[in-house]
Structure 1
Amino acid sequence: MAVAGIFFSLFTLNVTSYFEVMIYGILPVGLLWMCFMGVSINRYQQSLNDVLIWNEEKEITKKHWQRWSRRQLAIVGNVIFTPEQKGMGALLGEPENVPAYPCKARPLADVTHHSVASLLADIHVRLEEQCSDYHHMLHAVYLFSSSTGGDEKTEYAVFQQWGLFPEPFTSIDAISPLFDNDFDGLILVLCAQLWQEGNEKRESEFVSAQLISSSLFAQQNSIPVFAGLGRVMPLDPEGIAYNMDILLEYNQLQFNELHHVWVTQTDETLVANIMQYADQRQWQLPKRLPVHLIDHSFGPASDMAFPLALAMLTDAVNITGQDQLIIGRTLPQTKTMQLCLITEKLFSE
């Protein structure tokens, strides 16, 4: 640029001395160069500041989503009756001993009294053992109803047992608002999948009851916590790698902290995708039984499969002392799949 200024002053301005070359050639060009450099440096600094601000905002947003994702409900009581005498322990034993009834609907095991009232009375006794005087803190009962409608006899039996008329719900999404509300008291979530006289026995029988509270309420009242219930999150079967990466990153978990993956209402493609993901990420799942197939042991799934699975996995947490992950459809007729993480301990806020 300086050379160009010299030639310009010599041949255009007809300068005759070095001083004139300096004044009319090099100096203006130098000033012009400094202006260009100043603009470039200013733009660079602005771009650098934009990047720093973007990274800072990105980190703030990430921490916000981490806090949102790690919000849990405290499970302070859990009872589940299944077709297996050992309950979920039967599915956690040696692979060759895991029951296999993929097409068979089975009755409850070890239950001599099948009336709803007697089952609820048994649940009350067991919950009282787990959470003493829980009924004094109980302020709501949620009863899962199938898509065909609720059972009036079950609703009446619930009212007779707890003095609260149950609030029916048909999707696990009904509990989603509870995660963002530090509510007081306990909520009882009931699922009663029982054969009705005269109806076709298409699914196995299950009865589950979970006492849940906000983590803050459990902490303030020194209530022992069985497990931490995470948010139910949507899952794209084709994008399982992305969903799993987000789950682990936002919940600040490591692969070696998660050894039990359960699936319900899924197909072989999803299981294959899970296995492929585990291989790519060097996720050390148990070699002999890397994925637990709930439907393979308990038969065809129903509308209650996902809510029941949450109680099953809570039982599995207490048996193994390890975190559990469930993946499946919330309703058989939908293509949408969801996942939920149940942890042995509540995350620290």
Structure 2
Amino acid sequence: MGLLAVGFSSSPFRAIALSNSSSRADEGTKEQSSVALPSHSPLHKWRMVIAYDGTKFSGWQYQESPPTIQCLIERALMQITKLDRKELSLAGASRTDSGVHAWGQVAHFTTPFTYDGLDSIHAALNGLLPSEIRVREISAAKPEFHARFSTKSKIYHYKIYNNPIMDPFQYHYAYHSAHKLNPVAMREAAAYFVGKHDFSSFANASRNDRVRDPVRDIFRFDIIEMGSLLQLEIEGTGFMYRQVRNMVALLIQIGRESLPPYIVPTILAARDRKALAKVALAAPPHGLYLMSINYKHEHLELPADCPLISFGRTHQVSKCKLPFY
């Protein structure tokens, strides 16, 4: 299937870059052989799955100072491809907030050239990015694929460490509740969120939102006990700004038995953020994870004659160079 032409070069020809097996990934550069193509050659779209520890970063959305995940990935791509931000058109599936983590963030970018293999650019990207950000895989994408607008559902996890003493290894990755929580009451309350509702009471205002549709469809909201760790798993068509953290905050109050489970439909019906603010503050970001994103099957199909998906190079040692004693 042909790729969609979404832009044109100002010059009569544009080069098509081919990966070189001798690329120096650790230096973040890539030798390229090129073949001249007419200026009307189509743009090629590439899909990435990205994991990151959000502790040090100001969320996903592009911002130079302090840096965001999108900013750092764009800088790496610009260095590797020699393209500017406008040409790359990097877009992410979810604008995670400052301090929020991800295992399955998805983004796409475009290039006016294609690759005969993706392992080199994959290695180069991870070589340039800080260790807290890893590109887990790269693949070609059809022109109709869009990281944000092709989604069917998103899955978030929120971790609560429920113990009088906080595990220091969980400090940056789970909310600490020294109060004993009642998971049975939390599950009863979480069930009220499942289904299609107006979530106006659970969404903070965001300057990035223009016209918001507050109706969202929640497919499941599970609460799993793993020793001292409570893992809240939520899947839905999408979530508004801080919606998940606000829902979790209310469940924590219900788990403390400060509020009854049936308060959830009452606050939903109010359709007013002030109704929630009277009883709960937003849960902190460091317990939240974007785990995975589900897409329409047809949008995940690979284009014809595209390079293989890159899951990262596998390195093998053929001979031990250390002497035996």
Instruction: Tell whether the structures are fold-level matches, with TM greater than 0.5.
Output: no
| TM-score interval (norm. to shorter) | under 0.3
Bigger Rg, which one: 1
More helix by share: 1
More strand by share: 2
Instruction: Give TM-score scaled by structure 1 length.
Output: 0.22
Instruction: Give TM-score scaled by structure 2 length.
Output: 0.23
